[in-house]
Amino acid sequence: MKIFLQISLIFGCIFCLISCKKLVSGINTDPNNPTYIPPEQLLIGGEVGLVYEMESQLARNAAYLDRSARGLANQQQAFWSYNFQGNFFDGDWSGIYAQIIPALALAESEALSGQNKVLAGIAEVNLAFLFGTTADLWGDIPLSQADNKAVYPYPMYDKQLNAYDSVQSLLNKAINNLSTNSGTASGADIFNGGNVAAWIQIAYTVKARFYLHVARTNVAYYDSALANADKGISSISNDWIAPQGTTFGGDNNAWQQFMIVRNGDLDADSAYTYSLQLFFNRLSWNSLIPGVTNDSARLMYLYTLANNVKAQADNFVPNDANPQAIGSSIPTGFFGGNWPLVTYAENQLIIAEANWKKNNYNQATVALNNYRNQLNVGYPIYIGSGYRSNTNAQYGSFAYPDSFGVGNSGNRLGLNTPQAALLQNILEERYITFVGQIEGFNDVRRTNNFLKIPIAPYPINSTNPNKYGTLPQRFLYSQIEQAANPNSPRQSSTDIFKPTTVNDPATPY
């Protein structure tokens, strides 16, 4: 796909437009006017920009903070050590607010002007997803005034809960527009080729995700999460997946690009990476009760040793193998191929967790088994076909409560109650499913670190009683934004430890 190479040109044109016009209305729609950008190109640019943000430094930061990777050198080591500075986020903040949001908002406006409600709905799902993710990471964010630079050169910051409310409203609007089936985005949607049914299901799963994120503020949101997940992604064919190519520096995975260019700046040393220890512990349990949970294929797909040409000797690194892109001799690894954004896996795990919170343990087990059964029969985005065999990817079904009793297949930790063991399984599956992704960091904070992930720099198996200190809770606002916008909340470097509203420790998980 050459669209990755075209995004700078599209964004440059957008800058010209928004310098003198309101972003979402009053645009000249004459295609003969050189300032006009067709909504199809705007959607392409916005979607490509969103993919980049979900795969690049924001995702690497999340991996360091949920300890599914380790920063070793330069700025990556600073992130790993919680040495955050506002200027570290200048590029991502600018990418979100000066490039991607304008592209998607303008795509929506142009599409609605042309009665293309399908394209407008797809743009709205992308916008809502991006706004919601930004609220996840920063808390209070510009939203209601973010799409009109001419009128609001210094946008106010919406409170985090208000931002989530706006996200839900935007997703409702998207579902309504998509449901009209009026128009098309088949030549502009890089994800699903304008598949309306898939986008409606994606929108419902995104709604469920963000209801789950706010459920600590009101347990009724678990009902909302469940109601929307029930309408969400029903099969892996409707997953929201970012397609990646094999052209280095063009359309290949941004995680992979970074690991090649900055070889040695990060790894996944098993002594410091919670995900590796979790895999090892689950594999040890499988050796005692074979066939229940054999994660060896998933482990190899996510991480690799020195047989990868980019790996550090005698150490694990995220598996960025891609035979076409970097000439590796092993199949494409998770960090070298297509990238999950919102999936059937997440939808089932939302159903499982929300049901658990409602004391519906049998229904929670069914949803957990649905995901495990899909892993059994094949789920390429989570276990690449080049890594699985008939024996190294086995996920037996659980029965509640029998499987979760002490000494039984679903109670690896010997927890006192089947309810506790069931929740442990659900959250472990979520953690592994979100390795390398922003949602993993969201889960650690949202669940009040239920899985007991140590803070840096303590090794995972450290006996130091201080290893469960305060984990970072948010990202810092951009230094450029702080200097330019008087409405940007004032901050200090220690604010990374200040919980956002939805993760207030006064409201336990």
Cis status, amide bond into 38, omega within 30 of 0: no
Q: Name the residue ranges covered by the structural domains of the chain.
A: 3-244, 267-468
Query: How far apart, in Å, are the Cα atoms of 420 and each of 176, 423, 468?
Result: 39, 5, 20
pLDDT level of residue 250 (50, 70, 90 thresholds): confident
Cβ contacts of 287 within 8 Å, gap of 6 or more = none
The average pLDDT across 292-300 equals 93
Q: What is the mean pLDDT of the chain?
A: 90
Instruction: Please check the confidence at residue 322 and state whether its pLDDT lies above 60.
Output: yes
CATH of range 3-244; options 1.25.40.390, 3.50.50.60, 3.40.50.1010, 1.10.1790.20 = 1.25.40.390
Spatial separation of the C-alpha atoms in residues 257 and 326, rounded to whole Å: 10
pLDDT level of residue 411 (50, 70, 90 thresholds): very high
Q: What is the pLDDT of residue 506?
A: 86
Beta strands in 439-498 (DSSP E): none
CB 370 within 8 A of CB 280: no
Element of type H or E holding 304: strand 303-304
Instruction: Please check the confidence at residue 206 and state whether its pLDDT lies above 60.
Output: yes
Give tens-digit pLDDT for 395-408. Answer: 999 999 999 999 99
Which burial class, exposed, middle or buried, applies to 93 when counting CB atoms under 10 A from its CB (0-12, 13-18, 19+)? Answer: buried
Tokens of 417: 């109650």
Instruction: Please check the confidence at residue 194 and state whether its pLDDT lies above 70.
Output: yes
Least confident range from 155-159, 340-344, 459-463: namely 459-463
Give tens-digit pLDDT for 41-91. Answer: 999 999 999 999 999 999 999 999 999 999 999 999 999 999 999 999 999
